[in-house]
Structure 1
Amino acid sequence: MWMDTKTEAMEASRSRATLSRRVLDGLLLCTGDMEHLDEHIKDRWFVLQLAVWGLRGVTRVILANNPLSGAVILAALFWASPWQGLLGTLGVLASTLTAVLIGQDSAEVSGGLHGFNGMLVSLLMGVFSSAGDWYWWLLLPVCLGSATCVFLFSGLTSVLDRWDLPAAVFPFNITIVLYLLCTGPNNPYFPHHLATLPGTLELNGTEFIAVEVLRGIPLGVGQIFACGALGPSLLILGAVLLYSPLLAVHAVLGSAVGTLAGLSMAVHQDSLYSGLSGFNGALGCMAVGGLFFTFNWRTHLLALASAFLSAYADIALRNLLGTVGLPACSWAATLTATLMLLLSGSLAAHRIPMGQVRAPEHNLRSRSQWQAGHTAERRESTDV
């Protein structure tokens, strides 16, 4: 009888271990790039495929590539503002459908590469519009601007591919600047707010509220999607964590570095408290910290340097473009990341080719396997 009880206990322990293992495997399937999902939907309805492509495009804004993370981010945007959530959804769908209609590369479309610029354009049009929420005329430039990003992305990619560089968010930055220049604050159909010059704000004091400054760090991650609410920003950070813990750490570090750079330049408190000082630093840090470079202590220091450079460049560009009423958008992080990818010397050896970029943890494992295989080959050749 004692043996029977012991056997039952062992079987129960095995079943619990098996269940835990299955749950863990299921959770791991939801992380990273979720490439298995592409095989699963290959022969499914086009609407389902379009939804997955669009969700991948949503996460590409924040340098991720996970449709489940995209769904979490969309939920965060609708939580912060249903109007902004609607504009973002329409933008990513308009640009993705345009790419399908004009016959862009299927791998780029399914990977969401033609969706994220359209989403950013639509979100910024909504943020800068002075006509208020639920202004339906705005849907026209949202669709046209999102479609324009596809043509710019395709043209820039053919040029930048020569140096193995990504088109990144150059199409978004170009399109939104052209839109704001074409309309103006007094346009009868599409009026927008002018970017405020730092010198026109009320006198900036030297006293800061430490809690508000710390609160601005997670808000810096949310501001990548033009979201200035704390709860949705934390949800966006959680979506990045689901895709890659390493990328999420660099997002927080980059935003903190951007906030520190803003403090050192005594930028206005509103920029620090709202996260606007941190989002370019977050983007610059994430791009280098494991995404386009394999992660190690050298590239980690390079990622922090990229965050500082992005943050300081953003301050300078805001002061410059503010003279003509234009926002700096993400020009600083985009230009800085491009310069980092052009680096030569020993750091260039850690750079990942554009066609092989995956989640940072996957990049790290692939690099380790490649180095192990290379070491084994050298040993075999030496033995011979």
Structure 2
Amino acid sequence: MIDSYGGAKLVFAPFFGQHQHVSIMFNQFLRTLLRGAGQVFFAGNAITGAFFLLAIAFAALQNGTPYTLLGAIVGLTVSTLMATRLHLDDNDIAQGLHGFNGILVGITVTTFFIPSPLMWVLLISGAMLCPIAECAIKQSVTRSWGVPGSTLPFVLISWMLLLAGYNLSGVHLHVLSAAVQHPDESHVTLLMLFQASIRNIAQVFLLNNTVSGVLILIGLAWRSWAMALTTLGGAILATTVARLFGADTYSILTGLYGFSPVLSALAIGRVFYLRSPVRLWLAIFATLVTVLVQAALNRLFTPLGLPTFTAAYLLTLAIFMLARPALQPPSTVANTSE
């Protein structure tokens, strides 16, 4: 005799089975999205990505701009779904490699544009373009020259959207102050410079927030203590170099001179070069070079009304990757799985 519960289980077995399958698929997709967030720092780890989203959420809520978090999630989700729809490599999708440019585009659009329905159309369009741009760069630049695309799709698409925004009356950009603030040099302390170093890390996600930088470091430490220490070391070195060369104090304190050097330190020091004493010195030098490239690009792009985004990192990465065969044997990209 079948009891009432057993009978119910038999009757609804197809439903329960389908529900369980949907639940598994949802969990897998959620982990893919979180890995995509983590891949901004070359860390395809779901928990790391969760800390990164928490960092974005903290800054967005503290600034009273919750749509920044929503934009990040939408950009991340849309770019990942687009890659799935295009039937791109399943492993690349699962590791979040088609999500990190999308999340950065999402943050950029919600940071620079005034919220409106058409702003979201721009954001979704940019996020959909990300995996296509990634494929284009992979098939040309990476295949021919061995230079990874990294955040290049994010930079190119964000520039395109911002320039389009200047010429479209249906969307509106925030008015950004052109005035450079000059903090009192006598009041710049070591603590302020250390906080600036932490902001360097947060500014990779366009966040001017110290707590967000700490959350990102915690996420990286979960994935790898070595990656976290390399990131922190690159951030401190970038602040030190920018300060020694007399860069604008306000830009230093808000992390605008350090986010690209942070990525250079991590890329050369942990991802694309084999472990060796040479790698350490190359990572240090790449960090220094990126600060100088950042200063040059600031001069070039400010009259255009465009942020440099991670262009300084990309230029430095290209130089060091093109030189890699002569400096070290090629290495595989660091394992980004959990």
Output the CA distance in 2 between the equivalents of 1:83 and 1:169.
22
Cα offset, 1:205, TM superposition: 5.8
Cα offset, 1:107, TM superposition: 1.4
Match of 1:301 in 2: 281
Distance 1:190 1:344, change over 3 A: same
Instruction: Tell whether the 8 Å contact from 1:80 to 1:227 is kept in structure 2 after alignment.
Output: yes
Cα-to-partner distance string for 1:92-137 (whole Å, 9 max, x where unaligned): 00000011111111111111111111111111112222x2xx5444
Residues 1:358 and 2:338 aligned together: no
Residues 1:266 and 2:246 aligned together: yes
Output the CA distance in 2 between the equivalents of 1:240 and 1:147.
27
- Paired amino acid for 1:147: M
- Paired amino acid for 1:87: G
Match of 1:348 in 2: 328
CA RMSD of aligned residues (A): 2.4
**Paired-residue identity, %:** 23
Distance 1:208 1:291, change over 3 A: farther
Residue 103 of structure 2 aligns to a residue whose secondary structure is helix
Residue 342 of structure 1 aligns to a residue whose secondary structure is helix
Residues 1:176 and 2:158 aligned together: yes
Structure 1 stretch 288-297 or stretch 173-182: which is displaced more? Answer: 288-297
* TM score, norm. by length of structure 2: 0.85
- Paired amino acid for 1:113: L
Distance 1:120 1:42, change over 3 A: farther
Residues 1:314 and 2:291 aligned together: no
Cα-to-partner distance string for 1:248-303 (whole Å, 9 max, x where unaligned): 11111111122122213322222111111111111000001121112332101100
* TM score, norm. by length of structure 1: 0.76
Match of 2:13 in 1: none
Residue 331 of structure 2 aligns to a residue whose secondary structure is coil
Highest relative contact order (Cα 8 Å, sep 6+), 1 or 2? 2
Cα offset, 1:42, TM superposition: 11
Cα-to-partner distance string for 1:345-371 (whole Å, 9 max, x where unaligned): 66322x3134xx3169x9xxxxxxxxx
Residue 144 of structure 1 aligns to a residue whose secondary structure is helix
Residue 45 of structure 1 aligns to a residue whose secondary structure is helix
User: What count of residue pairs does the alignment treat as equivalent?
Assistant: 312
Residue 273 of structure 2 aligns to a residue whose secondary structure is coil
Give the alignment partner of residue 86 of structure 1, picking from 62, 67, 70.
70
Match of 1:150 in 2: 131
Output the CA distance in 2 between the equivalents of 1:196 and 1:288.
35
Unaligned runs of 5+ in 2: 1-19, 61-65
Unaligned runs of 5+ in 1: 1-40, 363-384
Instruction: Tell whether the 8 Å contact from 2:37 to 2:100 is kept in structure 1 after alignment.
Output: yes
Match of 2:94 in 1: 110
Residue 304 of structure 1 aligns to a residue whose secondary structure is helix
Output the CA distance in 2 between the equivalents of 1:172 and 1:328.
11
Distance 1:195 1:324, change over 3 A: farther
Match of 2:105 in 1: 121
- Paired amino acid for 2:295: I
Please tell me whether Structure 1 or Structure 2 has the larger radius of gyration of its CA atoms.
1
Instruction: Tell whether the 8 Å contact from 1:79 to 1:232 is kept in structure 2 after alignment.
Output: yes
Output the CA distance in 2 between the equivalents of 1:96 and 1:359.
17
Distance 1:43 1:177, change over 3 A: same
Match of 1:212 in 2: 192
Cα offset, 1:52, TM superposition: 1.3
Distance 1:206 1:231, change over 3 A: closer
Cα-to-partner distance string for 1:17-68 (whole Å, 9 max, x where unaligned): xxxxxxxxxxxxxxxxxxxxxxxx9997332222111111101111211011
Give the alignment partner of residue 268 of structure 2, picking from 288, 304, 329.
288
